[in-house]
Amino acid sequence: MRSLDEYLHDAEQAHGHLCAGQVLGVRLAMLGLKELEIDDPRGKDRKRLVTFVEIDRCVTDAVAVVTGCRLGKRALKFRDWGKVAATFVDVSTGKAIRIAARESSKSLARQMHPEIEDKNQQQMLAYREISDHDLFALQWVKVDLPPEEFPGYKGERVVCDACGEGINFRREVRRDEKVLCRSCAGERYYSAL
Ligand SMILES: [Zn+2]
Ligand SMILES: [Zn+2]
């Protein structure tokens, strides 16, 4: 595995700036990989890992950089829960660990560096120094990953009976003998003008 500074350099490039979220995200992902004993997630181990992230913020960009898991590769799964947490699944063994940033990390940063007024600077420094244990809560978990969730899944593509658009990865809804996309089935996040 590479060093914190090396990953932070890459994270800064990918994310556009260096921030406390990047430090937290890089450390969170490095810890997940260490626990799963995955050394080279962007090289020889690149097919071993699926990562679930629970927030769409700075942290998530850093997790993606360290793990090499990306949305477009189906190896990054997003659950919009607003929590600074991620679950790392080793698909070769089925082992999985969920790691969440402790709620106390912000106040700990304040205690450690009261001399730094800027919150982001304060946390950036403290999040380098705080131990894994004080920064994160770890939990070994079981994640059910059906075949259609795996990055390399090759499945049948179906067409929505209502709108005619194609649907991959078994995301269709079957109702009253009809095949519907999620939008036509009522999960629409937009409305027509
Ligand atoms: Zn940021
Ligand atoms: Zn449809």
Assess contact for 17 and 25: CB atoms under 8 A.
Answer: no
**Average per-residue pLDDT for the chain:** 96
Share of the chain above pLDDT 70, in %: 100
CA of 173 to the centre of ligand 1 (A): 37
Residue 185 CA, ligand 2 centroid: distance in Å? 7
**Ligand 1 mean position to 10 CA, how many Å?**
13
The pTM score is: 0.94
C-alpha 50 – ligand 2 centre gap (Å)? 29
Confidence band of 18 (pLDDT split at 50, 70, 90)? very high
Q: How far is the CA of 182 from the centre of ligand 1 (A)?
A: 32
Tens digits of residue pLDDT in 56-94: 999 999 999 999 999 999 999 999 999 999 999 999 999
Question: Do 15 and 62 contact (CB within 8 A), yes or no?
Answer: yes
Q: What is the pLDDT of residues 156-175, one digit of tens each?
A: 999 999 999 999 999 999 99
- pLDDT, tens digit, 9 for 90 and up, residues 71-80: 999 999 999 9
Lookup: tokens for 24? 């937290």
